[in-house]
Chain A
Amino acid sequence: MTPEALLGGFIDAPVQSAHAFRAGLEALARPGTLHSLTGATPPAPMSVAAGVLILTLCDGTTPVHLAGHHDSDAIRDWVTFHVGAPLVTAEKAMFAIGTWAAMQPVGRFAIGQPDYPDRSATLIVEMPTLAPSGPHLSGPRLSGPGIKGEARLALPETAAFVRNRALFPLGFDCFFTAGSLVAGLPRSTNVEAN
């Protein structure tokens, strides 16, 4: 483990994680809205927002899957030191971090059981940018719980989220992160291509 792995955690964990949770809660409860997460500096290529989510939600009881380029020694050491989460394959993960391409096929992730739909994975998807609507409302239409009328969010694809919604109440839940921004997309959201 390199000394750099020891850096980049919360300075005041109780307060910083409380603010981070509230931002994450608002993001997941209002799909299509963007919120700011700050306080952690994880090793590249992990974004600040993804690092904050891991510090806030993961610990020794939550198996974590690092996908693609996020499965580097630096990130493994950082996650291990700061939260102590077991690093596992996609099938066993409660949380997964990586780009959408690196997470394919997403069918590997836990979608819960019919009697315990909460036993499902939460995907933290790293995006190059995050835009709620863009200048010309290009993203897919979102509707469902947490959304008044409809919202829009640029997603890496549409079909996978349509399939995920069809599994309700099973399915995985997503956070999208870029820099210090986060947006949420729970399994309950209807996604329609524009």
Chain B
Amino acid sequence: MTAPLPALAAVDSVAQPDHGRDERAGFHPEQPDVQHDRSREDHAKDQPVEKVVMALHAAHPEKGSMTDYNFAYLDEQTKRMIRRAILKGIAIPGYQVPFASREMPMPYGWGTGGVQVTAACLTPDDTLKVIDQGADDTTNAVSIRKFFQRTAGVAVTEATTEATIIQTRHRIPETALTKGQILVYQVPIPEPLRFLEPRETETRKMHELEEYGLMHVKLYEDIARHGTIATSYDYPVKVEGRYVMDPSPIPKFDNPKLSDNPAIQLFGAGREQRIYALPPHTHVVSLDFDDHPFVASKAAHDCDLCAAQDSYLDEVITDDQGSRMFVCSDTDFCRSRREAGHLGRLGTPLSEVEQ
């Protein structure tokens, strides 16, 4: 404990005649070799750039504000790599392009793939919307929205119609998307054949040979066991008659919106290091059989807040007596309907809510 103290004092006493002692002490406070320090200092005197840098550090002691991030967090080399992967994904709709996914300041499974794709696409003029299973106000959505507010300074919104980029976890917004919008999906497992064939070498060969019989066997086994195709989310699709694609775990209710959508749809899987894409107006078909056609199912209820009959619903348990309510999973859609005066079975007029 006592050893460094005399040495530090010695540094100060030697350094003070030439330079401010704050810099010296701050630079190597534990440095016991006075002679060595002395030589460094002489060196620094001959290096005006080093002085300027030290002065800047002294003038801005508080690092960590937004200006310390590159625009949209990622470095430019990473963004170029992601952008090249996105363009190849657009050129080969439904094909999973490998990319060198980066560590992001959030855990895998929280949308690191979607965040990287969004970061590579964002411009300062964009308005960003982030949804998590349709909701703008859940943890995942709020934290990603704040992440881009801090690192890119972009405008954010909860309104689907105002957004230019929408990052989504497991839903496609109810409001129809338009030309000029980009929908970025967070994808946990991009390979639709993965649970049928665990080896990447084999699934790659199956995509190469267009060998998708196993997927139909899986859907057939659903029918054999349950009498109907029981797969209700993550429902496999075929893109432009070529690649079978995992649409991410969206409910199959959303599958028809994948096809002929005027927006650009980008899919990012961070842990699995894959990016794939659907250009606007791409033909996407949900796999099915002639005698068991695909059905975009939803709960057979109306929304209890906004009375919508055509939106995807979440079931909410409201007490321990078995009471339940069904509400729109898309919070922006539900709120805008309630603002327009629609009222469901358990809804309260917004005017009363605000008081």
Contact = CB atoms under 8 A, between A and B. Distances in A.
Contacts of A186: 90-92, 279
Interface in B32-74: 70-72
A18 B122 contact: yes
A24 interface: yes
Contacts of A29: 90, 264, 277, 279-280
B243 interface: yes
Given A57-B84, A188-B92, A14 B72 contact: yes
Interface string B102-138: 0000000000000000001111110000000000000
A146 B121 contact: no
28 contacts: A14-B71, A14-B79, A17-B80, A18-B71, A18-B121, A19-B123, A19-B125, A21-B83, A21-B120, A25-B90, A25-B121, A28-B90, A59-B77, A62-B84, A114-B208, A115-B205, A118-B88, A145-B240, A145-B279, A145-B281, A146-B282, A148-B260, A148-B281, A168-B242, A169-B242, A186-B91, A188-B240, A188-B279
| Size band of the interface chain A makes with B | 35 or more
A81 to B, nearest CB: 16
Main secondary structure of the interface of B (DSSP, over half): mixed
A32 to B, nearest CB: 12
A118 B92 contact: yes
A147 B121 CA distance: 21
Contact of A14 (B70, B81, B86, B98): B70
Q: Report the 7 A-B pairs with minimum CB-CB distance, sorted nearest first.
A: A146-B279, A14-B71, A186-B91, A118-B88, A145-B282, A29-B279, A18-B123
Contact of B81 (A22, A61, A144, A169): A61
B162 interface: no
Given A25-B264, A115-B205, A147-B281, A57 B91 contact: no
Interface of A: 13-15, 17-19, 21-22, 24-26, 28-30, 56-59, 61-62, 114-118, 120, 122, 144-148, 168-169, 173, 186-188
B97 interface: yes
Contacts of B91: 28, 173, 186-188
B194 to A, nearest CB: 16
B281 A146 contact: yes
Nearest to A55: B80
Nearest to B79: A17
B218 interface: no
A110 to B, nearest CB: 12
Nearest to B119: A18
Contacts of A187: 91-92
Contacts of B92: 117-118, 168-169, 186-188
A25 B95 contact: no
Contacts, number: 113
Given A18-B72, A22-B121, A56-B83, A117 B279 contact: no
B19 interface: no
Interface in B121-173: 121-125
B251 interface: no
B229 interface: no
Given A14-B71, A173-B87, A188 B123 contact: no
A30 B279 contact: yes
Given A17-B79, A145-B93, A145-B282, 14 more contacts: A13-B76, A14-B76, A15-B124, A18-B79, A18-B123, A21-B120, A24-B87, A29-B280, A56-B83, A57-B84, A115-B207, A120-B88, A145-B278, A169-B95
Of listed B90, B95, B277, B278, residue having the most chain A CB within 10 A? B90
A13 to B, nearest CB: 6
B11 interface: no
Contact of B87 (A18, A122, A144): A122
Contacts of B121: 18, 21-22, 25
B234 to A, nearest CB: 23
Contacts of B77: 59
B187 interface: no
B204 interface: yes
A15 B80 contact: no
B85 interface: yes
Contacts of B125: 19
A169 B205 CA distance: 14
B193 to A, nearest CB: 14
Nearest to B283: A145
A25 B264 CA distance: 9
Of listed B81, B87, B207, B242, residue having the most chain A CB within 10 A? B87
Contacts of A147: 281
